[in-house]
Amino acid sequence: MKRIFVLLGLLLILLPGGAAQADNNTFGIAWGISVPFADTKDYTSKVSFRGLSAEWRNFYTRDMAYGINVGWNVFNEEDDSTVYVDNAAFTGKRWNYINAVPIYASWFKYFSHDKRSKRVFAGLNAGTLYMERRTEVGFIGIDEDTWHFALVPEVGFQLPWDAFLGYISARYHYAFKAGDVEAQQYLEFKIGFGLD
């Protein structure tokens, strides 16, 4: 997990520097609210308000951009139940945690040519989603770390003002099955700002 945070830190340092060098780049930071679905919801069913992402986009035409984005989404839930591990059963207060770290390349289509106007956009993110799932019952902790290939469609709305951009978007994370861990899914609503 420490290597993930080092990689995220390096990307956050390098991306703004690249964005400052060219007129057709944007850099943004967003807060994420996530709703779990399918197997992710079975593990932690509550809506998460703990999400953060950073992204860089390069406009290679007036209405199309490619980029990179990284993030961190945290889910947690408390429950009273029994956990079965091998031939043992543990009953008591249980906490389930998920740390999801998406690292995606992206492509976006904007439905207006004017970067200074309100613009609707749609795109696709693809890459890897690191998923750390942890269950704790008393002093017992069970960890499960997996890397998933993910495809993530995204739609959003950009509100420019002077050198800043405000934006909202929704993206559906679909991380394919990895090993014994089923496909992970959650819908993330992002509220962010950026520099143009």
145-185 pLDDT per residue, tens: 999 999 999 999 988 766 667 899 999 999 999 988 899 99
Give dist(CA 34, CA 98) in Å, integer.
12
Give dist(CA 129, CA 159) in Å, integer.
29
pLDDT band, very low/low/confident/very high, at 17 (cuts 50, 70, 90): very low
Which tokens go with 157? 């709305």
SS (H, E, C) 80-102: EEEEEECCEEEEEEEEEEEEEEE
pLDDT > 90? residue 119: no
Which tokens go with 109? 């289509």
Q: What is the model's pTM?
A: 0.81
Give the model's pLDDT for residue 33: 97
Q: Are 33 and 52 in contact (CB under 8 A)?
A: no
171: which strand partners?
154, 188
* Arithmetic mean of pLDDT, 109-129: 87
**Residue from 177, 196, 176, 175 nearest 187 by CA:** 175
* Arithmetic mean of pLDDT, 81-106: 84
Angle (CA) 149-151-152 rounded to 5° is 135
Q: Are 192 and 30 in contact (CB under 8 A)?
A: yes
φ/ψ of 178, rounded to 5, equals: -135, 115
Neighbours of 62 (CB within 10 A): 12
The sign of the torsion formed by the CA atoms of 12, 71, 100, 47 equals: positive
Residue with tokens 């405000």: 166
Beta-sheet pairing, 164-175 with 119-137? unpaired
Give the model's pLDDT for residue 121: 95
pLDDT > 90? residue 50: yes
**Residue 12 neighbours by CB under 8 Å, 6+ apart:** 54, 70
